[in-house]
Structure 1
Amino acid sequence: MKLAVQTETTKPALSATFAARWRVFWGYCLAVGIYAITVGFFVFPSNGGIQSSYYSLVALPTLMIMVTKPSLAVHGRWLLLFLGAPLFLAISSFWSDPNVATTYREPSFFIKMLAILAFLYFAIAYVMQTYKHFSGLWVIVLGWVAGASALVGLVDYLVQHHGAIPGQWPRFKGIAWGGDTNRVAAFYTVGFLACVYLAYFKQGLCQVISVLCALPPVLVVMLAQSKVPFLVIVATVLLVIATRVTTRDWRWLAAGAVVFVGLGLWLSLGTNTFARVYSFFIRWELWQAAIASLNDNWLWGTGLNYRVSLTVDGTVFGQPHNFLVDTLRFAGVIGLTLLVAQMVATLVVVIKSLPSMPIMWFYGGWFLSGVGTALVEAQQPLMRPSYVWFLYWLPTVFIWHAYQSNKLPSEGATSAQVGES
């Protein structure tokens, strides 16, 4: 009988030990996956690497962890707000017209996209709650890899176009993520913001390396001649100068002045990024065409299709290059309201957190930069892991979970526990 009692008491202990080791293993895989789907935008030659990394190193580990019922604090109202817009977009696919679609997908496809997005929410929640110092190391890797990647891209640019320079400056495409000029410029802008954050708040060798890594992304954005990233860099430099004027930190003021003057000289003597007026015209026409396609379906939209092309000025476009307009045409005022509410909530969180969480300066800059680019480049946000994730979903999730993790001890009563301790 005594042996039987020992056996019965040993089984739960062994089970708990196995579950803990199981979570540790998959937790490390998940942390690597978060690096892959963020830093990977500066490394992978195409979006296929991002998607493969997500399914194998984020979605799968998250599922493996969740089956063990980990202790994970999830705020129900935040989860509902996060999934509100994509949920309505997915539901709207049930009343979409397949006859108008350039490429059609069944509603089940968009339900899968919703589930994939939900996995991202839980994945980052688990990593940030389990590994408290994850963000500190991750932002260093993000900024430094972005700088190194930009430098490699610049070398490739010189090799490819040295014969044309300086008579003309072809637009930079890079060697990462398929060479899409505007989106690649947006990615490197985030790398620049990470380096500025590190240089501003860190000291010693980390600060020096971050300053050096911030320069190649600036050159990339200049050569890409992409408007929103250019404006983000200008705004960042002005913000740094404004915050250092009162302290009279001449090193920062001098560095900011050099960058600012360099950008001005590029516009006046190099290639004027804002001289391509056709890009303004065509986007305005695209937005009007997308809104006109709503007809009388203003409230709930025409229903989400995988792709509904628009023809403007004799050119066929796969999407209207504005994720709010694209959401409006597919999900109507309801879908647009849900998405805007999510954006406003994110901004409120950033503003509330800035005094106590310095990293929110980077997250907030990433979010605003991404939204700015999405307003002139992106389609509706319910899609596979891709550029929209980097521009919008990833900064949104990082902001929310950083805020929730910081407030967790005082808001434990309002948190729902997923599983048991």
Structure 2
Amino acid sequence: MPEHSAPSNGLNKVFNFICSWALPLGYSMLLCGMLVLPSQSTYTKFYYALICFPTLIAILIKPKVTVSFLKDPLLIIFITYLALTILSLIWSQPATDSDSLLKRPIYVLMLFFCCAFVFHTYPNRIKQSYTLACIIVLIYTIVSLAQFIIDYKPGLRMIGSGALSNPLLSSHIYGFFATFFIASFTAQRKLAYINIASFLVMFCAIIATGSRTPLLALFLVATWLTIATPNKRSIALISLIIVSAIAFLFLAPLPPLERGFSYRPEIWSLTIEKILQNPFFGYGYNTPLSVDPGIGVEFREPHNFELGVLYELGLVGFIIWLTMHLYALWRSWKFKTDPSFIVASSLLIFGIGAGLTEGGGIFSRPKEHWFLIWIPLALIFGLDSLTRAKAVLNTTMLNLDSKSYNTLTEDGRIIEADGLGPKVIQLKDKSFFKIFRRKSIISSSSIIPYAKRFAANSEQLNKLGIIAPEILAIYKLYNGSTAVQYNPLPGETLRKKLHESKSETEKALLTQQFGCFLAELHKKGIYFRSLHLGNVLLLPSGKFGLIDLADMKISGRPLSRSMRIRNLKHMQRYAEDKSWLFETHLDSLISGYSKISPIHIVKSLNLNIKNQCEHS
């Protein structure tokens, strides 16, 4: 059973409180605290109190769960980097006390565990943390912009409120949230206007700081989004970024080119010279750097995260660092149909871009640099570990006795029932609990239970880029039935959408889009026996998703012509569906289907459908 539905005892109540309230609140404060809290030291203390301490308690309560996190490759790579960093103290000449330096990587590790614990117990809490933080950050940013406009004098650069103390560092946080809003806008249609408006606020804040690097980083984000989610919104986005960058040339507090390159090339060149003197293992963790680009001022950072890694840990450390980022991006690409992965990977891309001209020391106490490195990586780790846990759950059935069943379904709302009792229940956490009863003593469900088929099909569909419900757990019930718990998809059935359509033109367009979706299913080898318009959802993003997935076969190659014909025959069992799809709007269905299907198959299907309609 998921952690939040386990039988409660004292420790479980503490653990549930930590994961449902303490850590999400701490995470929100991590995101917005730099603008809200009065100083850097206060911000750090809040991190210790609301994330480090609760996470440590959670680790002590659930050591087995913690050990399971250690199997995730991303965390393994991070711990390898952490271990090399600590080991490098042997040959380093740190500017800070070693005891203090040893704590800093642990602070980052706690953030990784924090994200994993919350995602595994209350996945929606992280989204709620971001929502709360975004609202707070927007309010403070609007106030700061208003004050900046009132007090503006030529050459003035906005810093912002709270613990923010430097325009460039402030731009990292504004850029982080600008990225969050544009990635959310691109990945899903929901709240599109709010996301765009919020992005524009953050972009104005970036302009007010006079910083240029965030523009490059945002352009990289827009490019990533265009590649990962090619749609009209992503294309519009990259156009918006280009136009905004041009506007920046005219609206920035200081003309961008007037400041030159701020001695970055000279600093990088001098840093590379030092790196080449000790290329393989570097100078060690926190070894001071001092370079003078010829202006009589010594710079203590290379102003480039990658050069910072090379300086401290050499090529060995850099390879681990690079592997960590590439692996995180690869996992995000693999699950790019999940908006959460798109948003998280976009934040990482922004961090990579912004880090090209900023930073040096990798491990530090919580500050602005965390928004470029550790917050995105920890977010991707949390998502990835949850994805892996679901894959394990899909093959492991959990026993649910009568008492546990009653506890789980208590105060639930019955969505669907038959003469034998509930079939689908909406639980208190808004997830769905679908029950499968054995129809006969001798049944294939005794070998592969329907709940397990449902979960396995959902996982395979998501891997193939077809949106399906998020599986939380599968169960074997005390009475011999099986059940699957999942998060329902948003949206409405295509049947309902067609009912509500006010014009035949709108119905024809929906039918054409469905025809294209149907062709995609067949091309990917998906034979959905229960396919009808009540099992196809039109999502807020405009894409289609599938529900009721137990009766499905997924092969590794496109369906044959005969299988496609048989699948269409299944859909003709429903009179209303048949009337819409195969009679009134057949041309639209075939038009959509032909967009990604071989012409000879399209002609054969069209002829077969017309012959069936004539004989029916």
TM-score scaled by structure 1? 0.81
Q: Which residue is 2:208 aligned to? A: 223
Instruction: Indicate how the Cα distance of structure 1 residues 66 and 104 shifts in structure 2: closer, same or farther if over 3 A, else same.
Output: closer
Superposition deviation, residue 275 in structure 1: 4.1
Tell me if structure 2 keeps the 8 A contact 1:142–1:194: no
Distance 2:331 2:166 in 1: 32
Deviations along 1:83-116, whole A, 9 cap, x unmatched? 2223212211221236xxxx3422x333222222
Q: Which residue is 2:265 aligned to? A: 284
Instruction: Indicate how the Cα distance of structure 1 residues 142 and 362 shifts in structure 2: closer, same or farther if over 3 A, else same.
Output: farther
3-state SS of paired residue (2:61): coil
Distance 1:85 1:135 in 2: 26
3-state SS of paired residue (2:373): helix
Distance 1:16 1:134 in 2: 20
Q: Which residue is 2:111 aligned to? A: 120
Tell me if structure 2 keeps the 8 A contact 1:140–1:198: no
Distance 1:147 1:361 in 2: 22
More displaced, 145-154 or 29-38? 145-154
3-state SS of paired residue (1:113): helix
Instruction: Indicate how the Cα distance of structure 1 residues 127 and 210 shifts in structure 2: closer, same or farther if over 3 A, else same.
Output: same
Q: Which residue is 2:345 aligned to? A: 364
Aligned residue type for 1:18:
G
Aligned residues: 384
The one of 74, 81, 85 equivalent to 2:81 is: 85
Superposition deviation, residue 260 in structure 1: 4.7
Q: Which residue is 2:311 aligned to? A: 329
3-state SS of paired residue (1:83): helix
2:52 is the counterpart of 1:56: no
Instruction: Please give the residue correspondences for 1:2-151 in structure 2 after superposition, counting only pairs within 5 Å.
Output: 17-27=9-19, 28-69=21-62, 72=65, 73-76=68-71, 77-97=73-93, 103-106=95-98, 108-151=99-142
Instruction: Indicate how the Cα distance of structure 1 residues 262 and 111 shifts in structure 2: closer, same or farther if over 3 A, else same.
Output: closer
The structure in which a higher percent of residues are helix is 1
Q: Which residue is 1:4 aligned to? A: none
3-state SS of paired residue (2:298): strand
Distance 1:385 1:244 in 2: 32
Q: Which residue is 2:447 aligned to? A: none
Instruction: Indicate how the Cα distance of structure 1 residues 203 and 78 shifts in structure 2: closer, same or farther if over 3 A, else same.
Output: closer
More displaced, 150-159 or 307-316? 307-316
Distance 1:126 1:243 in 2: 28
Q: Which residue is 2:516 aligned to? A: none
Larger Rg: 2
Instruction: Indicate how the Cα distance of structure 1 residues 241 and 393 shifts in structure 2: closer, same or farther if over 3 A, else same.
Output: closer
| Structure 2 segments unaligned to the other structure (5+ residues) | 1-6, 397-616
Instruction: Indicate how the Cα distance of structure 1 residues 259 and 286 shifts in structure 2: closer, same or farther if over 3 A, else same.
Output: closer
Deviations along 1:158-202, whole A, 9 cap, x unmatched? 2322xx3xxx35222222432311121121112112222344455
Aligned residue type for 2:92:
S
Superposition deviation, residue 327 in structure 1: 1.6
Deviations along 1:324-355, whole A, 9 cap, x unmatched? 11121121111111111111111111211112
Distance 2:105 2:322 in 1: 18
Deviations along 1:93-150, whole A, 9 cap, x unmatched? 221236xxxx3422x3332222222222211110111112123323323333332222
Instruction: Indicate how the Cα distance of structure 1 residues 156 and 179 shifts in structure 2: closer, same or farther if over 3 A, else same.
Output: farther
2:329 is the counterpart of 1:347: yes
Instruction: Indicate how the Cα distance of structure 1 residues 261 and 25 shifts in structure 2: closer, same or farther if over 3 A, else same.
Output: closer
Instruction: Indicate how the Cα distance of structure 1 residues 242 and 19 shifts in structure 2: closer, same or farther if over 3 A, else same.
Output: closer
Superposition deviation, residue 41 in structure 1: 3.1
2:311 is the counterpart of 1:316: no
Superposition deviation, residue 257 in structure 1: 6.0
Superposition deviation, residue 372 in structure 1: 1.4
More displaced, 283-292 or 122-131? 283-292
Q: Cα RMSD (Å) of the superposition?
A: 3.1
| Structure 1 segments unaligned to the other structure (5+ residues) | 1-14, 416-421
Instruction: Indicate how the Cα distance of structure 1 residues 347 and 87 shifts in structure 2: closer, same or farther if over 3 A, else same.
Output: same
Instruction: Indicate how the Cα distance of structure 1 residues 329 and 261 shifts in structure 2: closer, same or farther if over 3 A, else same.
Output: closer
TM-score scaled by structure 2? 0.57
